[in-house]
Structure 1
Amino acid sequence: MKFRYKVTLCMISMIAFIFGIGGTFLLYSSFQSSINREKISAIKSFDMVIHTFSLLSQETTWTTASEISKDFGKIVEQNDLFVAISLHKDKELIYKSSDFVNDMEEMCDKADYRNVAYKIIRSENQYYIQLCSVIKVENADLYIDALYDITKVYEQREELQKLYIAVFLFVVTSSAVFSYILSYFLTKPISRLKKIVSSITQGNYDLRSDIHTNDEIEELSVEFDRMTDTLVDKMEELNAAVDRQNQFIANFTHELKTPMTSMIGYADLLRRQNLSQEEQTDAANYIYSESKRLERLSIKLLELIAAGNKEQELTIQNPAYLIENVVKHYVPYFQENGIEIEKKCEAGNCMLEPDLFVSLVVNLLENARRAMENGGVIKIVLSMKKDGCDLLIQDTGCGIPKDKLVHITEAFYRIDKARSRSFGGAGLGMSLCDRIAKIHNGSLSIESEVGVGTVVKVQIRGGRI
């Protein structure tokens, strides 16, 4: 059942209940008030008859029942408020004003000298108040019964009941219409929200409820829109992650396929043909070099996966000391390639994962070396900060085009694939460096100009003790 129908039924039920209880109470109160007024009027008139007859009995001496009946009849004729009056002596009827006396019930046992007994009786479609009293005349008990017509009170009640039912039906019908209209406008925003939910469920993620009612429904709408925005953002992130994963797999497959194809070709050449010693050496050297490149590729991948999946524990380290150890082993090799290293490292300790930090420095130095085929200068600057350290590595290499910078930290991305492969690069170094920086709550940024060189800035924010 729809909510608007529930609201309508609740309002109808509440109005019907209140109106029903209130109307019934008013009808009952009005009816009882009318009955009480008729009772008082009947008792007063009946007391007058009894009082008159009592006074007459004190001044008159009756010898026969017919004399009593005759005098009592004269008193009754003077009072026409009663439908019927009867007089009994020792259960013997000695007077009746009309045949309606036959409708009376026996009440002699309830009457006494002080109080008037009464009850409401019904005869066919007529209602009466029957009154009964007893007086003593010449040592004999005379019982007087009277019928007082109150049919008009019951007729008025029936008319009021019919009017009440008509008014009740009108009120209920009117309230039903009004309640439905009111509930329709109250639940209209909910219906709109439902349609929006249905549309979003079917894939229309651009829709928003945008409900303004200045109540809880508007608050619900705002929260729903916020939830939808969050959901869309998460879905976009998930889709982007899936795309990156698919691209990663495609690139990885390509990186494996290219050397494997060449290695298989050279191996098949060695197996099937008679080659000279020089040709065999070239083929073996190529297979060896490609195998080493695949080894480096697998190591890089393992480091990249480990850096992303394993929760790293940072310890107190001296980054200047770690850089010094790396540079000490690389200086001879770099000097052979005409590359000079200049370093300026500020002493101090901060929170690091040493192996990852060393891998970061090594990868940045390797990237700088590959950018300088004809030699050059690499500057290393380390400065300590209150919450970590900043590492800057600058080279005088070939530089990176600006349109390539946004992709430089993507896995397997290479600016010049042919040149990178010849230098043993797999396009994973910068991706690993970016991941390492994030593990240390830091960031990696690159500035470069073609023909001038590249500056890589790494912020390490693991904290200081």
Structure 2
Amino acid sequence: MKFRWKIFLLCIIIYIITLSITGILVTENSYNNLLNKEIDRCLKEQNNVYKNSILYLMVNQKQMDNNIDMVNYGHRIVEMFEDEDSYIEIFKENGTVLVPSEKIINVDRKEEIKTSMKGKRNYIMRRNNGHHYIFINQVFEMNNKKFVLSYIKDLTEIDKQKTKQYGYFLEVGIIGLIFIAAITSRISKMMIKPIENLTDVTYNIAKGNYKDRVKVKNIDEIGILAERFNKMADEIENKITQLENESKKKQRFIDNLAHELRTPLTSIIGYAELLMKIKYDEETFHKGLNYMYFEGKRMLKLANTLMKMIITREDPLNIYSQNIKPILKEILEVMEIKASEKNIKLKLSTEDIKFNVDKDMIKVVFINLIDNSIKASEGDSEIIVGSGKNFDGNYLFVKDYGKGMSEEEISKVIEPFYRVDKSRARKDGGVGLGLALCNEVIKRHNAKLEIESKLNRGTTIKLVF
């Protein structure tokens, strides 16, 4: 069953239960109040009938010298006080009916008559043949004999009013039920609409439409749920995008690795086949063997670099706080000879700032970065190496004024085998793993690599700690 119908049925059930309890309590309370008032009125009426009957009896006793015929007396009392819904009976001491000749209502009344003979007025409520009666009994004496005057009142009309009131509640309840059903159906539909929207969005996301979102209009619990669902969907979309990007990177890595391996292997196999087929020629053999040696060394360098990346990920680093200035000086001294080949000046711009680094691994990083800057720079240029501070924290940097990179290249340059200038990289023997290796080392230092570059204006690479 749908949640909307559950809400609808719940509201209807609550309405029916509430109306039923209210109707019963109100009707029964009204009935009991009315019945109690009617009993009080009947007791007063019986008291008047009793007093007038005794007075009439006393008057007749004086006139007839106590020779009163109780049967005639009783009939006169009945004629005077009986009406359409009230009756009078007179009982003898032994409990038999004196007037009228037989009981008006055929019920056993021995116990109440016996109680009345003791001088106590009493009343009792009875139902008989669909009617509701009150019997009020009180004793009187005449000629040393006891008689009981019984006043009977039909209270059936009160029961009919009770039934009418229940019928009225039923009619009102049915009308209210129709009204409540219409309103509840509309309200439940409005309440469930955001949930239905949420359900549709989850279905669309499950089918792959990760950009679909719930429209948040409410500020209640459902609105909060929708808002948090949207945040969750954003995170899922981001994770899916990251996974797709990682998958693309891995595929590019595999493709580039295959290319890097296939190219030298093809050359080596090609020259080997050539040397096997042709007659010995010293110059040709020397050239072929030299090329095979060069390509084999490049494959070995590729294997060593890949192994170094694996080791970098797995081996623990010896990281501790140390002054960075002497380390950078050592690196510049190492790279100065290569920079001088293009008449490039290496400048140091740093203070005595301490960084938590592995000295050997940070040297590997800076040698790679400076080597890339030298390759990207024209002659008679300069490269600045140093440190600084910003709102993110302390950082190290390498800045050149060379060719620079486009925005698209910046996002891919740290991927394995990616080369901005492929022809230059092959000529220099590079395989495009330098920055990828640097990035792995920097991650192990809990730092991040930031690249700022513009075409023909140079590149700045920061290591932000």
Query: Do they superpose with TM above 0.5?
Result: yes
**Given residue 225 of structure 1, which amino acid in structure 2 is its aligned partner?**
N
Partner of 1:360: 365
> 1:4 and 2:7 equivalent?
no
Partner of 2:305: 300
Pairwise CA distance, 1:125: 2.3
Task: Return closer, same or farther for 1:97/1:168 CA change in 2, 3 Å cut-off.
Answer: farther
- Which of residues 114, 123, 143 in structure 2 aligns to 1:138? 143
Q: The residue matched to 1:196 in structure 2 has which SS?
A: helix
Pairwise CA distance, 1:425: 0.7
Q: Distance in 1 between matches of 2:158 and 2:236?
A: 73
> 1:192 and 2:197 equivalent?
yes
Pairwise CA distance, 1:79: 0.6
Task: Return closer, same or farther for 1:284/1:320 CA change in 2, 3 Å cut-off.
Answer: farther
**Given residue 122 of structure 2, which amino acid in structure 1 is its aligned partner?**
A
- The superposition leaves residues 43-73 of structure 1 with CA deviations (integer Å, 9 ceiling, x where unpaired) of 2232233333434555628899981111232
Retained in 1: the 8 A contact 2:89–2:98? no
Partner of 2:348: 344
Q: Distance in 2 between matches of 1:78 and 1:105?
A: 24
Task: Return closer, same or farther for 1:313/1:109 CA change in 2, 3 Å cut-off.
Answer: farther
- The superposition leaves residues 307-341 of structure 1 with CA deviations (integer Å, 9 ceiling, x where unpaired) of 56767553223434334444444555666x56555
Retained in 1: the 8 A contact 2:389–2:395? yes
Task: Return closer, same or farther for 1:390/1:151 CA change in 2, 3 Å cut-off.
Answer: closer
> 1:458 and 2:461 equivalent?
yes
> 1:219 and 2:224 equivalent?
yes
Q: The residue matched to 2:69 in structure 1 has which SS?
A: helix
**Given residue 17 of structure 1, which amino acid in structure 2 is its aligned partner?**
I
Q: Distance in 1 between matches of 2:455 and 2:129?
A: 117
Partner of 1:247: 252
Pairwise CA distance, 1:243: 0.7
Aligned counterparts, 1:71-150, within 5 A: 71-81=73-83, 82-96=86-100, 100-103=104-107, 105-106=109-110, 107-112=112-117, 114-150=119-155
Q: Distance in 1 between matches of 2:321 and 2:291?
A: 44
Retained in 1: the 8 A contact 2:395–2:464? yes
Q: Distance in 2 between matches of 1:162 and 1:444?
A: 83
Retained in 2: the 8 A contact 1:86–1:101? no
Aligned counterparts, 1:248-267, within 5 A: 248-267=253-272
> Which shows bigger deviation, 326-335 or 288-297?
326-335
Pairwise CA distance, 1:347: 5.6
Partner of 1:381: 385
Q: The residue matched to 1:6 in structure 2 has which SS?
A: helix
Retained in 1: the 8 A contact 2:23–2:166? no
Q: Distance in 1 between matches of 2:404 and 2:342?
A: 21
Retained in 1: the 8 A contact 2:217–2:223? yes
Retained in 1: the 8 A contact 2:89–2:97? no
Pairwise CA distance, 1:388: 3.8
Task: Return closer, same or farther for 1:457/1:304 CA change in 2, 3 Å cut-off.
Answer: farther
Aligned counterparts, 1:431-442, within 5 A: 431-437=436-442, 439=445, 441-442=447-448
Q: Distance in 1 between matches of 2:432 and 2:158?
A: 106
> 1:426 and 2:431 equivalent?
yes
> Which shows bigger deviation, 43-52 or 339-348?
339-348
Pairwise CA distance, 1:219: 2.5
| Count of matched residue positions in the alignment of Structure 1 and Structure 2 | 455
Q: Distance in 2 between matches of 1:101 and 1:329?
A: 130
Partner of 1:317: 322
Provide the aligned C-alpha RMSD in A. Answer: 3.3
- The superposition leaves residues 82-122 of structure 1 with CA deviations (integer Å, 9 ceiling, x where unpaired) of 33423324334332176515456332222245432221222
Q: The residue matched to 2:214 in structure 1 has which SS?
A: coil
Q: Distance in 2 between matches of 1:300 and 1:186?
A: 62
**Given residue 445 of structure 1, which amino acid in structure 2 is its aligned partner?**
I
Q: Distance in 2 between matches of 1:65 and 1:220?
A: 98
Pairwise CA distance, 1:421: 1.5
> Which shows bigger deviation, 298-307 or 159-168?
298-307
- Unaligned residue ranges in structure 2 (runs of 5+): none
Task: Return closer, same or farther for 1:97/1:24 CA change in 2, 3 Å cut-off.
Answer: farther
Task: Return closer, same or farther for 1:362/1:115 CA change in 2, 3 Å cut-off.
Answer: same
Pairwise CA distance, 1:30: 2.0
**Given residue 25 of structure 1, which amino acid in structure 2 is its aligned partner?**
L
User: Which TM-score applies when normalising by structure 1?
Assistant: 0.85
- Unaligned residue ranges in structure 1 (runs of 5+): none
> 1:36 and 2:36 equivalent?
yes
User: Which TM-score applies when normalising by structure 2?
Assistant: 0.85
Pairwise CA distance, 1:256: 0.8
Q: The residue matched to 1:121 in structure 2 has which SS?
A: strand
Task: Return closer, same or farther for 1:333/1:117 CA change in 2, 3 Å cut-off.
Answer: closer
Identity of aligned residues (%): 23
Pairwise CA distance, 1:275: 2.7
Q: Distance in 2 between matches of 1:294 and 1:89?
A: 135
Retained in 2: the 8 A contact 1:85–1:101? no
Partner of 2:46: 46
Q: The residue matched to 2:213 in structure 1 has which SS?
A: coil
Retained in 1: the 8 A contact 2:302–2:431? yes
Task: Return closer, same or farther for 1:176/1:389 CA change in 2, 3 Å cut-off.
Answer: closer
Task: Return closer, same or farther for 1:436/1:456 CA change in 2, 3 Å cut-off.
Answer: farther
Q: Distance in 2 between matches of 1:444 and 1:51?
A: 115
Q: Distance in 2 between matches of 1:25 and 1:403?
A: 80
Q: The residue matched to 1:412 in structure 2 has which SS?
A: coil
Q: Distance in 2 between matches of 1:89 and 1:402?
A: 126
